[in-house]
Amino acid sequence: MHPFLLHNGEIRAAAEPVVSLGQVGLLSGWGVFSTIRIYDGVLFAWERHWARMESDARLLRVPFPSDSRDRIGADLGRLVEANQAWNATMRVVILRNRGGLWEGPGMSRDFDVIGLTADLYPWLDHLCGGDGLRLGVVPHARHAASEFAGAKILSWAQNLTWYERAHEQGFDELVLLNERGEVSECTSGNLFAVHGTTALTPPLSAGCLPGVTRAILLEEIRLPNLQVRERTLFPADLESADEVFITSTTRELLPVVAIDGLNIRRGRAAMDRLHAGFRQYVQLYLAARGRPEAALSH
C-alpha cells in the first residue's frame, strides 16, 4: 500500500490511525468496496464502479453518498496525486459505522469513505506455470439463489482463504461452482469460455459478481466474427471450449492453460483480440478525459 490514504475527503498518512473498533462495519465486514485500475492518473470506468457500489450498498443497507460521485472522484484524484499513483490499483471502501450491539460511543458519522492505492501486481510474473493460469475447482462455493449473490462486500475472508489454499496446492486461481454445479466465477475474476466465434460467460444468475471488465466486454467491445454473450456453463463446457480466460480489473484478460480434473485446450486467439479491443476502449475512455496517450504498457 502507498504512504497516503483518503479518509472522508482528507489525505492522511496510511500509518495514522483513522478507524476505530466501534465502527460496526470494521468488525463485521459491513460495507462495500470496489477495486479500480488507474491508467495514466485516471480512475478507469469510475462511473461503473460507483454504480455497482451504490447498488450493493442499497442491498446491504449500507449508507451511501449517492449524490457525491463527482466530489469523491475528485478527492480520489487528489489521492492519486499524493501517492504519485499514475498507473496503479485503487481500493474504495464505504464502511458502515453505526448499528448493532458493538457500536462505539460518540459515533457521529453513518459511514466512512476510504480510498487506498497500491502498485500494480505483476500477475504474469507470479503464475504457477508461467504461460497462463492454472485453476483448481471448488464445488458448492457460490449460492446463486442467495439474495446477496454477486454483491461485493467487505467480508472477503472466504475468497482469501480459497485463494491462499489454491496457491499452496499449486494453482493460480479457482473455478467456483454454485449449488447447481454450474460455473460461477473465480475468487476475484470472471470466467469466459470461447466456443467457435462466441466468447461465453456465466450469467449473473449463476451467482457471479458483475465485474466491470466483464461488463465492458459484453456491452462495449464489438469485433468482426466474434461475439461475447452470457450462457450457463458447466465444467464440461470449459473442457470442450477452444480457449478459456479470466477477466478482472487488475488482471484485464489472462489465459487459462489448465483446470484441475479437466483436459482443456490452450488457445488464446479470441482472448488476444478481445484484449486488444479492451485496450482500445481504455484509450478512448482516457482520451475523453484529457489523457490521449495512456501508459498502457505498465
SS3 for 217-243, per residue? HHHCCCECCEEEEECCCCHHHHHCCCE
**pLDDT tens digit at each of 298 positions of the chain:** 999 999 999 999 999 988 888 999 998 999 999 999 999 999 999 999 999 999 999 999 999 999 999 999 999 999 999 999 999 999 999 999 999 888 898 888 999 999 999 999 888 877 877 789 999 999 999 999 999 999 999 999 999 999 999 999 999 999 999 999 999 999 999 999 999 999 999 999 999 999 999 999 999 999 999 999 999 999 999 999 999 999 999 999 999 999 999 999 999 999 999 999 999 999 999 999 887 554 454 4
- Tell me: do 146 and 80 sit in the same domain: no
| Residue 105, domain CATH | 3.30.470.10
Strands (DSSP E) contained in the chain are: 4-7, 10-13, 31-39, 42-43, 88-96, 111-119, 133-142, 173-178, 183-185, 190-195, 198-201, 227-230, 243-248, 252-259
Whether residue 291 lies inside any domain: the answer is no
| Residue 163, domain CATH | 3.20.10.10
pLDDT at 298: 43
pLDDT at 285: 96
Q: Taking Cα atoms as reference points, which of 100, 106, 119, 89 lies closest to residue 26?
A: 100
pLDDT at 110: 95
pLDDT at 107: 87
292, with CB counted inside 10 A (0-12, 13-18, 19+), is exposed
SS3 (DSSP) at 252? strand
- Tell me: do 140 and 114 sit in the same domain: no
- Tell me: do 145 and 91 sit in the same domain: no
Q: What is the domain extent for residue 27?
A: 4-120
Written as one letter, the residue type at 97 is: N
Whether residue 296 lies inside any domain: the answer is no
Of 78, 97, 120, the domain-final residue: 120
Written as one letter, the residue type at 266 is: R
Whether residue 59 lies inside any domain: the answer is yes
pLDDT at 292: 55
Cell of 170: 499449486
pTM of the model: 0.94
Of 66, 85, 120, the domain-final residue: 120
pLDDT at 126: 75
Q: Cβ distance 213 to 235 under 8 Å?
A: no
